[in-house]
A and B are shown apart, each in its own frame.
Chain A
Amino acid sequence: MTLRNLSGFKIAVALCCVLALTACSKKNTPNLEAANSGLGAGASSPGSEADFATNVGDRIYFVVDQADLTPEGEEILSKQAAWLQQYPGVSIQMEGHSDERGTREYNIALSARRATAAREFLIAQGVEANRISSIAYGKERPAALCDADQCWTQNRRAVTVITGGARTS
C-alpha cells in the first residue's frame, strides 16, 4: 500500500481522511475523488492536489454553531500553510460549509465565518492573502449524507480547494 511511503504521522492523517470518506458518504466530492485516484494510482506526486489532500489534509471541522478553530483544525491549517509556502504558485479557495440542522440564510452567514476563520489563519501563517479566495456554501453541499451527528460533524467544515498552480502528476 502506498501509505508505507509516508511517515508515521502522515499515515495517521491519511487514514483519517479515508475513514472520513467511507464513514457515511458513498458519494465523494470531486476534489476527494482526485485524492482517491491519487492514492490508487500510486504515490501522490509532491505538489499535486492529491498530495495536498492525502498528506496534508484539505479540511477542518467545527463545533456546532461555531466558527472558532479547534486545536486539531489549527494543526491541519498549519500544515496547509507550510505546504502552500513550499508551493508558492498554488492558489486556493477556502470553502465554508455548515451542517443541515439550521436555517438556510443563517447557515450561509455561519459558513462564511468559518471560511474567514480558516483563511485568516493561513494568512497569519504567512500565506499571501491574494492566493486565497473564499466562498460560503451554507448547508448546500454536504460531504456526508446520513441523518446522524457523525455525519453532521463532517459537514461543519472548511475545505481548502486548490484552484490553480498545482502539479498535475
Chain B
Amino acid sequence: MPNFARLATMRNFLVMLSFLVLALVPRTSFALEVDVSGGRINPLPIAITPFLVGGGAEEAGATLGDVISNNLGRSGYFEPLPQNSFIEQITDFNQEPRFADWRQIQAKALVTGQVYVEGGKIRVEFKLFDVNSQQQIAAQQFSTSPKNLRRIGHLTSDVIYKALTGIDGYFDTQIVFVDESGSKDRRVKKLAVMDQDGFNVRTLTDGSELVVTPRFSPNSQEITYMSIGQGTPRVYLFNIVTRQKEIVGEFANMSFAPRYSPDGQRVIMSLLTTDGRNSNIYEMDLRSRQLRQLTNTPAINTGPSYAPDGSQITFESDRGGSQQIYVMGVDGSGQNRISFGNGRYSTPVWSPDGQHIAFTKQAGGRFAIGVMKPDGSGERILTEGYHNEGPTWAPNGRVIMFFRDTPGENGGPQLYSVDITGYNEQQVPTPGFGSDPAWSPRLN
C-alpha cells in the first residue's frame, strides 16, 4: 500500500465535525481537498487518462478507466473530466505529466496508468498526482487473473478515494439484494449478489421460495435471510461459495429479521411467540446453537442490528403503541427508546463507524430514510417520498443504500444510494426490480 500517514485521530475528528472531507496531507502541503462542508458536495475535478495498453490488453484498459470514472463520479465527491477535454495525451507512463496542460482544463487530480498481459496474468499500474503541487500522491501495482479486472478497478478507485478524502473507500464491495420479477401479486423473489456498481449480478436461489431481508456475514461468504416456503417461514444461512443452505433453528414458530453479529459467530433475529401474537428478539450462537432471549414484551420486537463493537443492539418495537427505535445492551439489559420524532421509526441499522443509526420513518403517509445518533439526537432525513425503506451502510459509513417502491399494479422497488449528507441520490442498476439491499464489508 502507498505510505499514507495514518492520522486516525484526525479522521475521527473530521467524522465528528461531519462532512468536512479533507485530503490527507502527510508532511507535504498538498492543497488538494474534497470539500463537502455545509452539506453541499463540491466535487473535485479529476482527469482519469486512458490506461496505456500493451500485449493485448486494449479492452482491459478501457474497462479500467470506465470502472474508476464510474465509481468516483457516482460517489459525488469527484467530477471525472471528459477525455475529449484533455490537452496532453499520455504516451509514456514513466514520463512526468505536463501539469500546466492539466491545470488549464481545471483538473485538480490526475490519474495515469498502464495495463498489459504478462504470462497469462494482467498487470496494472497507476499513479495519482496533485496537479497544482505537481506531486505524486499515490501509486500502486496489481497483478491478477484477467477475470478480476473489474475488481482491480475497484481497488484502484479505493486507493484514489482514500488518498484524496482521507476516508476509506467502499468500491471493492458487494451488495446482496432480492431480485424481483413477475406480477405484483405473485412476485418471484430470488437472492442475488452483485458488485456495488451493479455489475456482475449472480442469482443464488431459483425463486421457488419467497426470500426477504438477506444480510452478509462479516467475511462476505455467507448470507442470512428469511424464506417463506412451504413450511413455517424461517431464517436460513446460505453459503455463497458452496451454495449450501442451512436452517438456523428448527423453532416451532416463525423466525425472521436475521442479522449477523460483528464477529460472525451469532445470528440475531425475531421469533414469533408460542401464542402467535408477539415477536421477541433472540440471539443464537452458531456453534453451540444456544438460543438466548433478549426482549420479552407483548409487542412486535424486530429489526435487530448490532453496534459495530458488538456491545449494544438497536431494534424496533411497538411496545409503546407504535413502531419506535430502541437500544439495549447485548445481553438485553437497559432497553431504552431513542426515537421521539413525529412518526413511526423502524428498520434501524447501526453504522459501521458506530456514529449513527439509519432508519425508515413513516409520517403523513410517506416513507423517509434518515439517520440519528445512537442516543437519539441529531435526527436528519436524507430522502423522503411515497415509499423508501430498508437502509444499509457502505462500510465507510458515508453512503446509504435503500429501496424505493412505486405505487400501483406495475410499480415495483428499485435500489438507490444517497450520501450521508442527503445529497447525491443515485439509482443503483439492477436487472429487474430490486429490494432489501445489504452492503458487504470491504472485500480486501
* Residues of A that sit less than 8 Å from B by CB: 25-27, 29, 67, 100-106, 108-110, 112-113, 115-117, 119-120, 134-138, 140-143, 145-147
Whether a CB of chain A sits under 8 angstroms from the CB of B360 is yes
B59 → chain A closest CB, angstroms: 41
Q: A113–B166 Cα gap in the complex (Å)?
A: 49
Stretch binding the partner chain, chosen from B34-42, B78-86, B117-125, B407-415: B407-415
B302 within 8 A of A: yes
In this complex, what residue of A is CB-closest to B303? Answer: A105
Which residues of A have CB within 8 Å of B409? Answer: 26, 145-146
| List of B residues within 8 angstroms of A136 by Cβ | 228, 233, 254, 272
Q: Quick one: which of B233-290 are within 8 Å of A by CB? A: 233, 254, 256-257, 270, 272, 275-279
Say yes or no: B408 contacts A147, CB within 8 Å.
Answer: yes
CA distance A117 to B256 in the complex (A): 20
Q: How far is the CB of A66 from chain B (nearest CB, A)?
A: 12
Which residues of chain B (389-434) have a CB below 8 Å from chain A? 389-390, 405, 407-409, 411
Contact of B347 among A105, A116, A137, A138 (CB under 8 A): A105
Contact status of A106 and B407, CB under 8 A, knowing A112-B272, A112-B279, A135-B228: no
The distance in angstroms between the C-alpha atoms of A27 and B278, with both chains bound, is 32
Q: Are A116 and B323 closer than 8 Å at their CB atoms?
A: no
Residues of A within 8 A of B411 (CB): 147
Docked CA distance A145–B275 (Å): 32
* A110 with B300: CB separation less than 8 A: yes
Q: Is the CB of B276 within 8 A of A100?
A: no
B130 at interface, CB cutoff 8 A: no
On whether the beta carbons of A106 and B185 are closer than 8 Å, the reply is no
* Interface residue tally for chain B (C-beta within 8 Å): 43
Q: When the two chains form their complex, are residues B407 and A109 in contact, meaning their CB atoms are under 8 A apart? A: no
Q: Flag whether B232 is at the interface (Cβ < 8 A).
A: yes
Can you report 16 residue pairs joining A to B where beta carbons are below 8 Å apart?
A29-B185, A100-B405, A101-B365, A102-B362, A103-B347, A105-B256, A108-B233, A109-B278, A113-B278, A115-B276, A120-B276, A135-B228, A136-B272, A140-B228, A141-B185, A142-B185
* Distance between Cα atoms of A146 and B410 in the complex (Å): 9
Say whether B186 faces chain A, with CB atoms less than 8 Å apart. Answer: yes
Q: How far, in Å, is B16 (CB) from chain A's closest CB?
A: 30
> Could you say which of B183, B276, B346, B365 contacts A112, with CB atoms under 8 Å apart?
B276
> Taking CB as reference atom, which chain B residue is nearest A155?
B185
Kindly state whether residue B295 has any CB partner on chain A within 8 Å. no
Measured between alpha carbons, how far is A25 from B184 in the docked complex, in Å? 10
> Which chain A residue has the least Cβ–Cβ distance from B386?
A147
Task: Provide the residues of chain A in CB contact with B323, threshold 8 Å.
Answer: 103, 106
